[in-house]
Amino acid sequence: MHGSITSVKATYLIFTTMHIAISALDYSQTFGKSMLTSSIQIAYNQHKDFFLKLLKDIEQEQIINTILLVHQEEDAPQALVQAVQQFQIPLLLITNAQYSFIVKKNFSTEILAIIVMSYTFDVELMKLMAGMLNYIRQTRILRIAYDVCDEDVYKQHLLLSCHSFNMTNVLLYLKKSKEETAATEYFLLKPYPYYHWDTFIEDNANHNYTNQYYQQHWKNMHNKTLLTYVDKSDLKSFYFKDIEGNLKLNGFVVRLILLFAQKYNASLQMAHPLSLSNPTHYSVIHEHMVKTHLIDIPMIMDTSSEGDEWLDWSDVYDYDQGMFMVPCVQALSLQEVYAILLNEYFMGCLFVSTILLSLMHSLIDYTFDGLWQLTHLCFSNRIFPGVLGQAFKARLTHSRSLKVVYLLLFIVGLHINTQFSATVKTLFTQPPRHRQIETIDDLVKSSLKILLFKADADIMAPFIGDYTSSVVTTENFSFVEDMQLQLNTTYSYYIPSGRWKFLMKQQQFHTNKAFCTFENLTLFPGLPWAIPLPPNSPYKEALNQLINQVHDMGMTTAWVSSTFYDMLKLKIMSLLDIQVKKGPKAITMHDLFWTWIMVMIGLLISCLVCWLELIWRQCEKAFLNKR
């Protein structure tokens, strides 16, 4: 009995011990899982808080309206996504190139672009982001790289890629998944004078914002050399050699770029030698140098009706109109005055009066006196001098009818002679003026041609299709420019309103203006001009800021005056009035052109009549001999 009780106790003790051991094991496993989950959650929260603080610090520098997050095919870091979502602003998550678009055309430019990579540098992902950031490549970019195998190689690849895509505002953060440090190391891209990384370390325990993550690097370019080139279009850009043979530049576009280099600590260098005799047109510089990245910042302006072209250009620097300038109305020359005097009306009156009175005189002679001369039927040598108001020989007659004809001849001759003499005195003392060309239709209908440089004519071709018959082109740009500056009235010219103001300033010293323009001669009522930059130029923001400052200070007016003074000093243009009359001038053979034409016509008619008379006489003799 005692043995069985002992056995039962032993069995109970074993089961009790096993139950305690199993319970202890279950508690140990549950507690371990709880501890692991808790540690992961703590790390996740720390990661999220880190990104949240970083984003808030970035927004403190400059407001963020949109966040673009580009990452690889794997899921985006949830801690980063949740940190971004707390800002309650548009978030664009992109992983595939087929869903890409140009951000600038759809969202505000105050964008923070975040690109996340792991292990190695992903070139395709970089191209994807660059394509989406077209026209705003200088926006703030945060590069987050996880567990990079070789940091130096990664940074070098990223540096070359940023330089290739003209990205200048990049912050790099290299993150180790299993490594927690007391401080965070950032790599800040420095694009000037050459692309390189600058490092700064931020203490994670210090919650105060102490570092500037994104800087306006263009404020100091550290004497970086920028390639440029210039056209030659007087006010805008003008270059010449001074007395010492040094090349000088002026013009309000040139002065802007020179000020740009001075203000932002850069140096300028011409991409090619300049030609004084054959300057390059601005359209050639734009097409073959700017668009192909051969120069960094040109000293030219251009305009376009295509909206997308303006995305790469600077802000509007000048605003003007495109118009035709035509010679101002001038007094008629003596040759033209004689053409008016001897017009169809005068000649008609002369010949009609002569024929009618000659016919009446011949009929009266034949009717009352039996006199008949066939040659006097339409042209009588007694009538024609009287019609001209000259003395004439009247036939002695008792016919009252013939006396009435002579009275009529006197009245007609007096009227024609008096009208002609009065008109001559009026036109010679106060010559009439040509009809002023005031509209484009007037210009097309006139004999005046429009002289255009061929490159300008090609650009304007869609807008001057109806006027091509009045257009004359040349490939010599200097010739067109000289004709305009010398105020040569042989042609009319297309001219921007800015240059027109320049020529008006020259003509204000003249007695009579050589050229005029009118509202109806305006071809383009509004032309904004800007400086075309290479695609995604890193100098656009700096140039835009300078343009606004120049406008605020009115520096363009001073630069235009300086250019005007240089052109006067070089005698490229003159203030002398070439149309000032130098006193009385003798009448020349050319002035009497129409008079000589009439004399020649008279001689030809007399020769023709003489020849006909000789033929008639020969025919008459031959007829008499036969009889």
Instruction: For 323, list phi and psi in degrees, rounded to 5.
Output: -145, 170
Instruction: For 318, list phi and psi in degrees, rounded to 5.
Output: -145, 150
DSSP 219: G
pLDDT of res. 583? 56
Q: What's the Cα-to-Cα distance from 323 to each of 343, 464, 505, rounded to whole Å? A: 36, 12, 17
pLDDT of res. 542? 94
Mean pLDDT for 523-542 is 92
319, 249 in Cβ contact below 8 A?
no
SS3 assignment for 299-320: ECCECCCCHHHHHHCCCEEEEE
Burial class of residue 371 in the structure, from the number of CB atoms within 10 Å of its CB (0-12 exposed, 13-18 middle, 19+ buried): middle
Judged by phi (left if over 0) then psi (alpha if -120 to 50, else beta), residue 485 lies in alpha
203, 53 in Cβ contact below 8 A?
no
- Residue 441 identity: D
Least confident segment among 344-358, 413-427, 578-592: 578-592
| Beta strand spans in 166-274 (E) | 170-175, 183-190, 196-203, 224-228, 238-241, 247-250, 266-270
Domain boundaries, the chain: 47-202, 237-330+434-582, 334-429
CATH number for the domain whose boundaries are 237-330+434-582? 3.40.190
Q: What is the pLDDT of residues 180-206, one digit of tens each?
A: 665 788 899 999 999 999 988 876 656
pLDDT of res. 21? 38
Mean pLDDT for 13-36 is 40
Instruction: For 487, list phi and psi in degrees, rounded to 5.
Output: 55, 45
Task: Select, from the ranges 162-166, 247-251, 404-408, the one with the highest average predicted confidence (pLDDT).
Answer: 162-166
pLDDT of res. 578? 61
pLDDT of res. 181? 62
CB neighbourhood size of 47 (10 A): 19
User: Treating both helix axes as pointing N-terminal to C-terminal, what angle do 540-553 and 252-263 enclose, rounded to 10 degrees?
Assistant: 120
Task: Select, from the ranges 35-49, 410-424, 540-554, the one with the highest average predicted confidence (pLDDT).
Answer: 540-554
Cα–chain center distance at 372: 80
The rounded mean pLDDT for the chain is 82
Mean pLDDT for 117-135 is 88
May I ask the CATH class of domain 47-202?
A: alpha beta
Task: Select, from the ranges 128-137, 170-179, 458-467, the one with the highest average predicted confidence (pLDDT).
Answer: 128-137
Least confident segment among 309-323, 502-516, 552-566: 502-516
pLDDT of res. 204? 63
> What H or E segment, with its residue span, contains residue 338?
helix 334-341
Q: What's the Cα-to-Cα distance from 603 to each of 297, 347, 593, 610, 614, rounded to whole Å? A: 72, 17, 15, 10, 16
Report the C-alpha gap between 49 and 56 in whole angstroms. Answer: 10
pLDDT-derived band at 22, boundaries 50, 70, 90: very low
pLDDT of res. 349? 86
Q: What is the pLDDT of residues 210-248, one digit of tens each?
A: 568 898 899 999 999 999 999 987 678 888 888 888 888
467, 450 in Cβ contact below 8 A?
yes
pLDDT of res. 26? 46
Question: Does the pLDDT value for residue 13 go beyond 60?
Answer: no
DSSP 268: E
> What H or E segment, with its residue span, contains residue 540?
helix 540-553
Question: Does the pLDDT value for residue 74 go beyond 80?
Answer: no
Question: Does the pLDDT value for residue 17 go beyond 70?
Answer: no
Report the C-alpha gap between 351 and 349 in whole angstroms. Answer: 6
Residue indicated by tokens 């200088």: 138
Burial class of residue 611 in the structure, from the number of CB atoms within 10 Å of its CB (0-12 exposed, 13-18 middle, 19+ buried): exposed
Question: Does the pLDDT value for residue 253 go beyond 50?
Answer: yes
Mean pLDDT for 51-65 is 88
Mean pLDDT for 105-130 is 87
First to last CA, the chain: 201
236, 252 in Cβ contact below 8 A?
yes
- Three-state secondary structure call for residue 433: strand
Measured at the CA of 541, the angle between CA 536 and CA 546, to 5 degrees, comes to: 135
Question: Does the pLDDT value for residue 76 go beyond 60?
Answer: yes
Question: Does the pLDDT value for residue 16 go beyond 50?
Answer: no
Residue indicated by tokens 């401080």: 183
Torsion of CA 40, 46, 51, 53, to 10 degrees: 160
